[in-house]
Structure 1
Amino acid sequence: MSVLPVLMAAVAPGVALLSYFYLKDRYDPEPISLVIKMFLFGLLLVFPVMVLQRALGHGLGDSPFVFTFLISSGVEEFFKWFLIYFLIFKHTSFDEPYDGIVYSVAAALGFATLENVFYAFLNGPTFYELVMRALLPVSAHAMFGVMMGYHLGRAKFSQGKVHKHLALSLLLPIFWHGVFDYTLLITKAYWIWFMVPLMTFLWLRSLWKVQLANARSPLRMARREERVKI
C-alpha cells in the first residue's frame, strides 16, 4: 500500500467517529474550530505520553496489571483529562452537559488517530488489521472520551456532587481503558470472545450517556418553554 491510502485508512476512523458524536449534539453545536483544536491537542499528547510511559515501563517492571491500568490507561486518560479540564471546563463554549462529551471525544480521538497512524506506518498492517483497529482501539478511545465528557458535564451543570463527578470523569475512563487493554493482553488466542461483549457494552453505555447528556441540556428546557408560550 502506498503512503496516501495508508494515511487515509489510519485517519478515517477517528474523523468518522468524531463527526458522529459532533452531530449528536442536538441543541447547540460547538464551534468546529474549537473541536478541531481539541482534536489536534489530543494528537500532540501522544508525544509526552510516550516518553512518560517508556520511563514508567523501565521503573515499574512488566506486570500486566501495572502496565495496563497504570502505565497505559492511567497515563493516557490522565493527560486527556488534564487537557480538557484546564482548557475547556471553564470555557464559555462549554454551555451544556453534552459539550463535555464533544470535547473529550475530540481529544481522545486525536490521540487515538496519531497512535493509529504510527501503527500503520511502523507495522505495515493488512486492510483487515486496519479495520480491526478502527473497531477496537480507536472506537474504545471514543467510548472512554464519552465517559469522561459525560461526568465533566455533570460536574459543571449539576447542583452538588461536583467533586464526585470530577473524580468519575477520570477514574471511569482509567478503569475501562485498563479493562480493555488487560483483556487484549491476556486473551491473545481467544480475545474475540471477550472483546465483542465488552465493546457492545461500551457502545450501548456510551449511547445511553449521549441521550442522558442531551436530555439534561438547559437549551432543551428553554425550547420546551418557548413551545409552551407559543
Structure 2
Amino acid sequence: MDFLLLAIAPAMIFVIFIYLKDKIEKEPISFLIKNFFLGAFGSIIITLILGVLFNSIYPLNDEKSVFQQFIKAFVVVALVEEFSKYVIVKYYAQKNKEFNEPFDGIVYALTVSMGFAALENVLYILQYGVSTGITRAFTAVPAHATFGILMGYFMGKAKFSKNRIQLNLLGLLGATIFHGFYNFFLFINFVPGTLIGAILSLIIGTVLSRKAIKKHQKDSNFKI
C-alpha cells in the first residue's frame, strides 16, 4: 500500500493546492473526485487506444533517430495524452453547471491531469520500482500539473467566449507544445546536455501557470 501512497500523494497535493487557490466559489468535492477518476481511467483508456492505433500505422523503432523521437514526443505522447485529458474536460466538466467561472477551467483541467498522472505513476512504479515514483513526484507530476493549468486557462476563457472552439483548441495546443518539448528533451538523452532543455521547459511552464492562476483569480464571475 505504501507504493500507492507514493503514486497518488503528489497528484493529490496539486489538486488540494488548486482547490485552495479557488478562493471565491469553490467546486464541489464530489464533482472534483469524479473528474479525478475520469482523468485516471477515462484518459488512460483513450491514450492506450490512440497509442496502439498510431504505432500500428507508423511504428517508431529507431531510438537514436532525433526525428522519430520528435514525432514520439509531440504526437504519440504529448498530443495523445493531452487530447485524452481534453476530451474529459470539454465533454464532461465544461458542460456541467458547476463550471461557472474562468478559474474552473484550471481547476478541472488540473484535476483531470492529476488523475491521469496518479494512475500513470502507479503503472510506472509497478514496472520500474519505488525510485521511479520518487523521481516522478518532482518531475513528471509537476509537469502534468503545468500542462493541465495551461490547458485549463484557455478552456476557462472558452466557456464564456464566443470563440469557444478556437480557445478550447488553443488550450489543447498549448498543453501539447509544452508537453512535447518536455518529453523531446528527455527522449533524446543520447545527445549531451538535453536534460537542461527539459528543465527549462518545466520552469517556463511553471511561471506561465502561476500567471494563468493569478489572471483567472482576478477574472472571477463572483468577485465582489
State if a TM-score over 0.5 links the two structures: yes
User: How far is the alpha carbon of 1:191 from its aligned partner?
Assistant: 4.4
Q: Distance in 1 between matches of 2:127 and 2:189?
A: 24
Q: Distance in 2 between matches of 1:179 and 1:192?
A: 11
Pair member with larger Rg: 1
Pick aligned residue for 2:86 from 70, 73, 81: 81
Deviations along 1:37-84, one digit per CA (max 9) or x if unpaired, are 000001102133123213312321212122111111111111111111
Alignment match, 1:32 = 29
Determine whether 1:103 maps to 2:108: yes
Pick aligned residue for 2:133 from 119, 130, 133: 130
Determine whether 1:23 maps to 2:25: no
Deviations along 1:134-191, one digit per CA (max 9) or x if unpaired, are 1211111111111111101111124x43333122111111111111111110135644
Deviations along 1:184-203, one digit per CA (max 9) or x if unpaired, are 10135644422332221111
How big is the alpha-carbon RMSD for the aligned residues of Structure 1 and Structure 2?
Answer: 1.5
Q: Distance in 2 between matches of 1:93 and 1:30?
A: 7
Q: Distance in 1 between matches of 2:27 and 2:57?
A: 41
Alignment match, 1:165 = 167
Alignment match, 2:57 = 59
5 Å-filtered alignment, 1:182-201, equals 182-188=184-190, 190-201=193-204
Deviations along 1:96-136, one digit per CA (max 9) or x if unpaired, are 1101111111111101110001111111132xx33321121
Q: Distance in 2 between matches of 1:11 and 1:190?
A: 31
Q: State the 4+ residue runs in structure 1 displaced beyond 4 angstroms.
A: none
Alignment match, 1:145 = 148
Q: Distance in 1 between matches of 2:168 and 2:47?
A: 22
Aligned residue type for 2:51: Q
Which range moves more in the overlay, 4-13 or 129-138? 129-138
Contact 1:57 1:67 in 2 (8 A): no
Alignment match, 1:228 = none
Aligned residue type for 2:56: H
Contact 2:85 2:112 in 1 (8 A): yes
The change in CA–CA distance for 1:8 and 1:191 in structure 2 (over 3 A counts) is farther
Which range moves more in the overlay, 185-194 or 94-103? 185-194
Alignment match, 1:227 = none
Percent of aligned positions with the same letter in both sequences? 31
- Unmatched 5+ stretches in structure 1: 224-230
User: How far is the alpha carbon of 1:211 from its aligned partner?
Assistant: 0.5
Contact 2:178 2:201 in 1 (8 A): no
Determine whether 1:13 maps to 2:42: no
Which structure's residues are more often helix, by fraction? 1
Aligned residue type for 2:173: L
Aligned residue type for 1:73: A
Alignment match, 1:68 = 73
Pick aligned residue for 1:206 from 206, 209, 217: 209
